[in-house]
Amino acid sequence: MAETKSEAEKEDSKKKSPLLLIVAGGAALLLIVVIMLVLALTLSSGDSVEPQRVSGGATAGIEPTLGPMIDLDQFIVNLLSNDGRRYLKTNVSLELTHKNVGPEVLNKMPRIRDAIIQQLSSKRFDEISTESGKVRLREEIKNNVNKHLIDGQVKNVYFTSFVIQ
């Protein structure tokens, strides 16, 4: 009698296996379709937006071309704090007004890096942790570097990485 029950259970489990496999396969297929749909909607939403035009014909808020760029080596500085445990690790790129400024910047690189290090290390965490603080810091760096240049100017300062700890 025990043998007949185990044989019956084996037959039931064989019948349930294909059903379980079909249900699992259907769930996996449904999951793949949902993921593809979400990706398609996410990627296509950025393509349909057209830039707004202003009266001058330029794209609003976007400069048509970038000037010559110079990437500076990484900066790691201690920030002003009571316990001295906060630091900033950042990479900076300078956009120049024209290509003739590049050799002057490279020639004065030690002085420029020193000026930027002094500027960065004079900041507190709360001064540069906000978006407006970073904008102010960009302007300060630009003005500070431009004091050292004769042949041209730095047009913009870009942070390519910015980590505060």
- The tens digit of pLDDT for each residue in 121-139 reads 999 999 999 999 999 999 9
Q: Is residue 53 part of a domain?
A: no
Domain shared by 74 and 154, yes or no? yes
- Whether the per-residue pLDDT at 48 is higher than 60: the answer is no
Domain shared by 97 and 155, yes or no? yes
Domain shared by 26 and 80, yes or no? no
Q: Is residue 59 part of a domain?
A: no
Q: Is residue 14 part of a domain?
A: yes
Domain shared by 78 and 20, yes or no? no
Domain shared by 132 and 77, yes or no? yes
Domain shared by 116 and 81, yes or no? yes
CA 18 to chain centre: 48
**Averaged over 59-77, what is the pLDDT?**
81
CA 155 to chain centre: 21
Domain shared by 94 and 16, yes or no? no
> What is the rounded average pLDDT for all residues in the chain?
81
pLDDT, greater one: 122 or 3:
122
Domain total for the chain?
A: 2
Domain shared by 14 and 87, yes or no? no
pTM for the predicted model, two decimal places: 0.60
SS3 66: coil
| Host domain of residue 98 | 69-164
Domain of 84: which CATH number? 3.30.479.30
Distance CA 133, CA 37 (A): 39
Distance CA 6, CA 42 (A): 53
Q: Is residue 54 part of a domain?
A: no
Distance CA 68, CA 46 (A): 28
Q: Is residue 55 part of a domain?
A: no
Distance CA 104, CA 133 (A): 29
Place of tokens 């970073």: 134
- The tens digit of pLDDT for each residue in 89-114 reads 999 999 999 999 999 999 999 999 99
Give me the pLDDT at residue 19, please: 76
- Whether the per-residue pLDDT at 143 is higher than 90: the answer is yes
Give me the pLDDT at residue 55, please: 45
